[in-house]
Structure 1
Amino acid sequence: MDGMKKFIIGAAFAAVGSTCAFAADLPMQAYKSAPVAAQVYNWTGLYVGVNGGYGWGSQDPLTLVSNRFDRTSFNISGGMLGGTVGAQIQQGYVVLGLEGDLDWANIKGNGILNPAIAGVGQGITLDIASKISAVGTARARAGVAMNNWLFYVTGGAAFVKSSANGTSIAGVPCGTLGVLQNCAASAWRPGIVAGVGMEYGFTPNWSLKGEYLYTQVIGTGASVDKLNIFRGGINYRF
C-alpha cells in the first residue's frame, strides 16, 4: 500500500512539472491596449487671417460725379489683399459664425463715354477711368463641418470705396457749368454680398480657405455696380 501511495504522489508531481515546463515554452502574448477614439476637429473659436484674390465686374463711373445721367457702365477687374477677423461656434456638424474683412483693391477699368440725360447728349465726350480701391464686408457664416473640412454659405453687408476720373476729349471741356461741373470724385458706397466657400484645417489652429463672393454696390438713382470676387486665405484660430 505504501508503495502504491508513493507511486501516485510521484506521478502527480511529474505531471505538474511537465505542465509548468510546457507553459514556460509558450510565447508571451503582447498586451493590447484599449482602442483610442479618433480626435474630432473643433472649429469653435475666435480667428484672424489674411486673404487675397481677384475681382471683376461692371461699374458706372458717372454716378460718382453726378446723379443726373442715364445709366451706363464698363468692365473693371484687378487684384485685392487684406485681413480677416471672425468668431464661430460648432454644435455637432453645424458651424455658425460672424466674419468681417477689409481689403485694399486695385480693381479698375476705363472707357469712352458720352453722358446723356433721358437719351439727350450733353455735348461732351469723356475718357474716364473707374477704380475700386477698397472692399469691406460684414457677414454671417453657416456651414457643415466634416471633421477638418468646413463647407459654408455666407452673406451680409458690403462697403466699397469707388472713384472716377474723367478727361474731356471732345466737345465742351470738363468743368463746364450746366454740363459736367466735376470730372473726378470718390465715395464709400454700401451694398450687399453673398457667397459660398470651403475651409480646411491642417492643424488644430491653422486653416486654409477659398471662397466666391458676389457683391452688388448701390449707387445713386438706378445705378447698381456688380463685383465678383474669388479669393483664398489663411486663418489662425485661438
Structure 2
Amino acid sequence: MRSSILTAAGALLLATPALAQEFNGPYVGGSFGYSFNGDDDEETMLFDRGFDGTDDTVTTTAGTNAFSPGFCGGRAFGSRNTGCGDDRDTIQYHVRAGWDVQFGKFVVGAVGEFGRSEVGDSVAAFSTTPASYTMTRTIDWEANLRARAGVVLGERTLAYVTGGPAYARIDNSFETTNTQNAFLDNGKSRSWGVVGGGGLEHKFTPNVSMGVEYLYSRYKDDDYRVRVVQGIANPINPFILFGAPGTEFRRSDPRFDFHAVRGTLAFRF
C-alpha cells in the first residue's frame, strides 16, 4: 500500500512540471478580427463663437439657432438632415509579443500589441443654410501593454482576462457642404486610453496556439478642433456675426470607444 502511494506521488510530481510548462515562457504572434462601434447616437457638436473657450449657440441675424435642424451620430448624406450613414465597422490587425508564467493550473503574464483598427466614428451637424458638417475619427495606429491572468482548462486550453493602458494616434478629418466659409483644423492627435477583455487560447502543438479574444478599447480624444472663419461669406454669416473672428467646432463626446472580436495566433519558444 505504502509502495503504491509513493509510486502515485512520484508520478504526480513528475507530471506537474510537464503541466507547468504548457503556458510558460515567451511568445510572438498576431491577431486579426472585426471592430465595431459602441452606441453614440446622442453625440452632437459644440460651438465656441469668438474662440474664448466658452460654448455658445450659433445664431442667425433673426436670433434663431443656426443648427436647429439638429445632429446625428454618423456621416451626413447631404446638406439637409435626412439621416446619416452608420459608423464604419471593419477589420483590425495587430502583431504581439508576450510572456507567461504558469503555476499549476493558473497562468499570469503580460502581452504587448501594435497595429491598427480601421473602425471609424463620425458625428454630423446640420445648419439652416442648409449645409452639413461631419467630423470623423479613425485609428492611424495603436499600441497597448496588457496584463493577463487565467486558468488552464484540461491541459491545453487557457481561459483568461486581460487589461492595461493603450496609446493611439487618431486621424481626425472634417468635411462640409458649406462652400462660403473657410475651415482650418488641427488634424491628427495622440491619445491615451485603456483596453480590457478576455479570451480562450488552445495549444495545438507544444509551440503553436490559436485562440479567440474579445477586447473593449476606449481613448480620450478631446483635442480636435475645426475653426470656421469668413472666407467668401458675407458679414452676416452666423459664424462671424456681430464681429466675431469665427467659430470653433468640437465633438461633444471625447470618448472614442469600440469593441473587437478577433482570432489570435502565437508561436511559443
Tell me if TM exceeds 0.5: yes
Q: 1:153 aligns with which of 148, 152, 161?
A: 161
Q: Distance in 2 between matches of 1:132 and 1:237?
A: 29
Give the deviation of 1:73 after TM superposition.
4.7
Q: How far did 1:209 drift?
A: 1.5
Say if 1:123 and 1:171, in contact at 8 Å, map to a contact too: no
1:136 to 143, 148, 155: 143
Report the alpha carbon displacement of residue 129 of structure 1 after superposing the two structures with TM.
Answer: 3.7
Give a deviation string over 1:82-124, Cα, whole Å, max 9, x none.
2010001000111000001011332225553249xxxxx9997
Task: Find the aligned partners of 1:122 and 1:93 in 2 and give their Cα distance.
Answer: 66
SS in 2 for 1:52: strand
Could you tell me which amino acid in structure 1 is paired with residue 208 of structure 2? W
* Contact 1:57/1:226 (8 A) holds in 2: yes
- Equivalent residue number for residue 225 of structure 1: 256
The yes-or-no answer on 1:107 pairing with 2:119 is yes
User: 1:47 and 2:34 equivalent?
Assistant: no
Q: Is the 8 A contact 2:198 2:213 kept in 1?
A: yes
> Match of 1:47, as an amino acid?
Y
Q: Does 1:197 align with 2:209?
A: no
So what's the TM-score if we normalise by structure 1? 0.68
Q: Using the TM superposition, give the Cα deviation of residue 171 of structure 1 relative to its aligned residue in structure 2, in angstroms.
A: 7.0
| Amino acid corresponding to residue 200 of structure 1 in structure 2 | H
- Name stretches of at least 5 consecutive residues in structure 1 with no aligned partner: 1-33, 116-120, 176-180
| Per-residue deviation, 1:61 | 10
CA distance in 2, matches of 1:54, 1:143: 24
Residue 46 of structure 1, CA deviation: 0.4
Letter aligned with residue 215 of structure 2: L
Structure 1 position 173 matched with structure 2 position 181: yes
Measure how far apart 1:125 and its partner are. Answer: 3.1
Report if the CA contact (8 A) 1:135-1:158 is conserved.
yes
Aligned residues between the structures: 192
Distance 1:122 1:193 in 2: 41
CA offsets per residue over residues 50-84 of structure 1, 9 Å max, x none? 11111111587979xx9977998543321111201
For residue 228 of structure 2, what is the aligned residue in structure 1?
A: none
Partner of 2:238: none
Rounded to whole Å, the distance in 2 between the matches of 1:208 and 1:133 is: 27
Q: What's the RMSD between the two structures over aligned residues? A: 3.4
Aligned identity (percent) is 24
Work out which of the residue numbers 214, 222, 227 in structure 2 matches 1:212: 214
CA distance in 2, matches of 1:159, 1:152: 22
Letter matched to residue 30 of structure 2: V
1:90 paired with 2:90, answer no
Which letter does structure 2 place at the counterpart of 1:196? Answer: G
Unaligned runs of 5+ in 2: 1-6, 57-70, 75-86, 224-252
> Comparing 99-108 with 223-232, which one deviates more in the overlay?
99-108
Aligned counterparts of 2:202 and 2:195: Cα–Cα separation in 1: 23
Q: Match for 2:266 among 231, 235, 238?
A: 235
Q: Which has the larger radius of gyration?
A: 1
